[in-house]
Amino acid sequence: MPASPLRVAIVGATGYSGVELVRRLARHPGAIVTGAYGSSASEAPRRLPGLARIWDGEVQPFDAGRVAHENDAAMLALPERAAAEIAPALLAAGLRVIDLSGAFRLRDEGARARWYPATGALPEGTVYGLAERDSAAIAGARLVSCPGCYPTAALLALGPLADAGLLAGDVIVDAKSGISGAGKAPSDRTHFSENHGSVAAYGVFTHRHTAEIEQELRHAVTFVPHLVPLDRGILETIYVRVPGGTTAADVASAFESAYAEAPFVRLTGTALPEIKHVAYTNFCDIGWVLDEAGGRLVVIACLDNLVKGAAGQAIQNFNVAFGLDERAGLL
């Protein structure tokens, strides 16, 4: 653990994930927030409503020079185009970068060109960072590309099953997300009246998180996201065909061995998890039910999309990257 607090800048501090970063890093025992910045150099300075007494600073226009010179690390909570533009210079200045956008998640050039066309080549030292599965890589990384909110839950649920050889056929991920996942920009899609009392699927066969899940899982998935009328949280219902003869003990063992040391994954077994128990926390709760005779497995995973799905796991990655206690600032 470093002798003195690490200096951190938060870039893109006014979006929902950015505010969560500020809220939590302001109390982080091993970090000092040297500044919070908007997404561009032209944004007027502003205070963050609701953060008085928690972090009383002002969000400043983005200033690449100041960010580069004053910090050990930068956390980027930006649209992917802005992240793709900003990250290389910060890396060149020697900062470690924790990026929350999708800009650097896909390793395959063709896939990246399709889903994140603003990104060019991946900077050297880029790793995909799901702390529970990639901690060694994160520890040595220059740029940690944090998983998307949907892939975080999907990979935490499916990764141990893939490792244990329990994915025997179609994998279907039916995801239900709160509206904050659609971002802070006002639109028809985020209007209160369009979502209250309603549920809607979107992006069927065309959501770019599919490519991300498949890259990490090395298994095809059918992924359908839905918007449900709540603010924070994702619950994924995952349908898996397991190999003949798979027992409940096999499934439990796959999860338990994977997460024996993971502070933020809670296994609930057949007592299925619910969003309300993970909202405002960095936990991902995972439960499951196996139909042994039929070879069908249903796994439920849930998390807070702004915490474990975004700002919380970014801080977790920051902790891992700098050798701090993985839980620092997150409890």
Instruction: Report the residue from 162, 231, 248, 325 that binds a copy of itself according to the rule CB under 8 A.
Output: 231
∠ CA 118-201-279 to the nearest 5 degrees? 85
Alpha-carbon distance of 193 to 195, in angstroms, equals: 5
Give me the sign of the Cα torsion angle 265, 130, 328, 323. positive
187 contacts a copy of itself (rule: CB under 8 A): yes
Within residues 247-306, the interface with a copy of itself by CB under 8 A covers 263, 266, 271-272, 274-280, 283, 289, 291, 296, 298, 300, 302
The beta-carbon contacts of 108-115 under 8 Å, at least 24 apart in sequence, are: 108/215, 111/211, 111/215, 114/211, 115/208, 115/211
Within residues 200-219, the interface with a copy of itself by CB under 8 A covers 200-202, 204-205
Q: In the bound complex, what is the minimum distance in angstroms from residue 285's beta carbon to a copy of itself?
A: 8
Q: In the bound complex, what is the minimum distance in angstroms from residue 196's beta carbon to a copy of itself?
A: 4
Instruction: Report the residue from 241, 248, 269, 325 that binds a copy of itself according to the rule CB under 8 A.
Output: 241
Under DSSP, the state recorded for 46 is: B
196 contacts a copy of itself (rule: CB under 8 A): yes
Instruction: Report the residue from 228, 248, 269, 325 that binds a copy of itself according to the rule CB under 8 A.
Output: 228
**What radius of gyration, in Å, describes the C-alpha atoms of the chain?**
19
Question: Please, which residue, 190 or 215, has the CB nearer to a copy of itself?
Answer: 190
Crossing angle of helices 16-25 and 312-321, in 10° steps, is: 50
To the query of whether residue 302 is one of the catalytic residues in this protein, the response is: no
Crossing angle of helices 312-321 and 131-139, in 10° steps, is: 40
Instruction: Report the residue from 64, 137, 224, 248 that binds a copy of itself according to the rule CB under 8 A.
Output: 224
Q: How far is CA 260 from CA 62, 253, 255, in A?
A: 41, 10, 8
Region binding a copy of itself by CB under 8 A among candidate stretches 2-10, 78-86, 154-162, 191-199: 191-199
Contact 153, 175 (CB under 8 A): yes
Q: How far is CA 51 from CA 27, 48, 182, in A?
A: 12, 6, 22
How deeply is 307 buried, as exposed, middle or buried, from its count of CB atoms within 10 A (0-12, 13-18, 19+)?
buried
Instruction: Report the residue from 230, 252, 269, 325 that binds a copy of itself according to the rule CB under 8 A.
Output: 230
Which tokens is 176 given?
């239900």
Within residues 3-32, the interface with a copy of itself by CB under 8 A covers 16, 27
Instruction: Report the residue from 122, 232, 250, 284 that binds a copy of itself according to the rule CB under 8 A.
Output: 232
143 contacts a copy of itself (rule: CB under 8 A): no
Under DSSP, the state recorded for 53 is: T
Q: Which of 229, 261, 274, 263 is nearest to 331 (CA)?
A: 263
195 contacts a copy of itself (rule: CB under 8 A): yes
Question: Please, which residue, 11 or 306, has the CB nearer to a copy of itself?
Answer: 306
Question: Please, which residue, 85 or 174, has the CB nearer to a copy of itself?
Answer: 174
Q: Which of 146, 149, 284, 302 is catalytic?
A: 149
Alpha-carbon distance of 43 to 197, in angstroms, equals: 35
Which are the catalytic amino acids?
A: 149
- Which residues contact a copy of itself (rule: CB under 8 A)? 16, 27, 49-50, 52-54, 169-170, 172, 174, 176, 178-180, 184, 186-188, 190-202, 204-205, 222, 224, 226, 228-233, 235, 237, 239, 241, 263, 266, 271-272, 274-280, 283, 289, 291, 296, 298, 300, 302, 331
